[in-house]
Amino acid sequence: MTTPLLDVRNLSKTFVARRGFMGGESAVVHAVSDVSFSVAAGEAFGLVGESGCGKSTTGRAILRLVEPDSGAVLLKGEDVLAANPRRLRALRRRMQIVFQDPYSSLNPRRTIGQTLTEPMAVHGLGSARKILEAVRMVLAEVGMPIDAANKYPHEFSGGQRQRIGIARALVLRPELIVADEPVSALDVSIQAQILVLLRGLQQRHNLSFVLISHDLGVVRHFCSTVSVMYLGRIVERGPVPAIFDEPLHPYTRALRNASPVPDPKAKVIMGKLEGEVASALSPPSGCHFHPRCPHVMEICRGVYPSWVQVAPDRGVACHLYPAGIGSTVSAAAAPGR
Ligand code: SF4
């Protein structure tokens, strides 16, 4: 078996939140619990779920922009969480992040040229002449004119700023990009252009992506594999489009039914995802989705469901699919499809 480019194993992260008058009381928020997945070289992997489900924290924990409490992150077998500062800097060169809001992630007082040369200078990647050449190349690659290097972030539109954010990630020639809601702040027509750009970069450089999005349409368009997260945990994982065409988990089904359908001829009934996501400060007992689930059973209220691998590339955590049932479960048999 080949080693995946990225292997995330049982990743967990908690935060301590202050609550109550004057912030006197504290509570533990389980932002990410026991999250595992792997990403092959050149693969686009999606993490999808509603706001607050832990997908962005997972993305940041992979790069140690937040320090995980436990678990493992392996980049081509090398332990990212055990890396000392010098090794971590080298590993971060190979893993980059693109943020949702490029305006707030770009320094308004630095020209685009300064923003793009800085990471290369920090990593000691060549002479000033080589660095300038690399900046010129990367700007052209993301469809920006060369003179953009002399301008400031406020001189660009949202779509152009996201191209610059992508250029900043790309300039170090990473193997993996964590893209955290990279198009959700953009108009729909610009979203499509940015996704086409990312797809081209993926194919040209055999780049791997962890694409974090609340938008099923974006994940469906861009990713080949997806994990669905709910309140800090992965509840279903599998290939695209099977996950969206034949969802097993009631939450995936509800998300799918609540998503706009890009094809006007498609016979998908638009629904509404009932209820609010529970607070991560006090998640419901048992299956965290049980207060919103139309199939809730007594066991769901008290016991968190085990992970069931229903096929080699497909798994789900739901009591509708008892542990041990294995590959006898078919998507077609999922209740309430
Ligand atoms: Fe619904 Fe129970 Fe499955 Fe949770 S475990 S999604 S409550 S059926």
Ligand 1 atom closest to 250 (CA):
6
| Residue 228 CB–ligand 1 contact under 6 Å | no
Is the pLDDT confidence value at 236 over 60?
yes
Please compute the mean of the pLDDT values over residues 34-54 and round it to a whole number. Answer: 95
Q: 158-162, 212-216, 264-268, 318-322: which range is least confident on average?
A: 264-268
The string of pLDDT tens digits covering residues 173-210 is: 999 999 999 999 898 889 999 999 999 999 999 999 99
Is the pLDDT confidence value at 22 over 70?
no
Q: What's the pLDDT band for 325 if we cut at 50, 70, 90?
A: low
Which 3 state secondary structure label does DSSP give 205? helix
| Residue 296 CB–ligand 1 contact under 6 Å | yes
| Residue 334 CB–ligand 1 contact under 6 Å | no
Q: What is the largest CA-CA distance in the chain?
A: 67
Contacts of 333 (CB under 8 A, 6+ apart): none
| Residue 295 CB–ligand 1 contact under 6 Å | yes
pLDDT of residue 264: 44
| Residue 303 CB–ligand 1 contact under 6 Å | no
Distance 228 CA to ligand 1 centre (A): 14
Ligand 1 atom closest to 300 (CA):
2
Distance 15 CA to ligand 1 centre (A): 26
Angle between helices 158-170 and 128-141 (to 10 degrees): 130
Contacts of 60 (CB under 8 A, 6+ apart): 66, 97, 178, 180
Is the pLDDT confidence value at 77 over 90?
yes
Please compute the mean of the pLDDT values over residues 9-31 and round it to a whole number. Answer: 82
Give every strand in the sheet of 208-213, ordered side by side.
95-98, 176-180, 208-213, 44-48, 225-230, 233-239, 314-317, 307-311
Long-range CB contacts for residues 102-109, cutoff 8 Å, separation at least 24:
102/153, 102/158, 102/161, 102/162, 102/164, 102/165, 102/185, 103/153, 103/158, 103/161, 105/165, 106/153, 106/161, 106/164, 106/165, 106/168, 107/153, 108/152, 108/153, 108/154, 109/152
Q: 96-110, 168-182, 208-222: which range is least confident on average?
A: 96-110
pLDDT of residue 332: 45
Both structure tokens of 189: 């027509």
Q: Which residue has the higher pLDDT, 260 or 5?
A: 5
Q: How many CB atoms lie within 10 A of CB 217?
A: 16
Is the pLDDT confidence value at 156 over 50?
yes
The amino acid occupying position 143 is G
pLDDT of residue 178: 98
The string of pLDDT tens digits covering residues 162-171 is: 999 999 999 9
- The domains found in the chain, sorted by start residue, are 6-94+174-333 (3.40.50.300), 103-173 (no CATH)
Q: What's the pLDDT band for 285 if we cut at 50, 70, 90?
A: very high
Question: Phi-psi category of 250—alpha, beta or left, where left has phi over 0 and alpha has psi -120 to 50?
Answer: alpha
Q: Rounded to an integer, what distance in angstroms lies between the CA atom of residue 99 and that of residue 102? A: 6
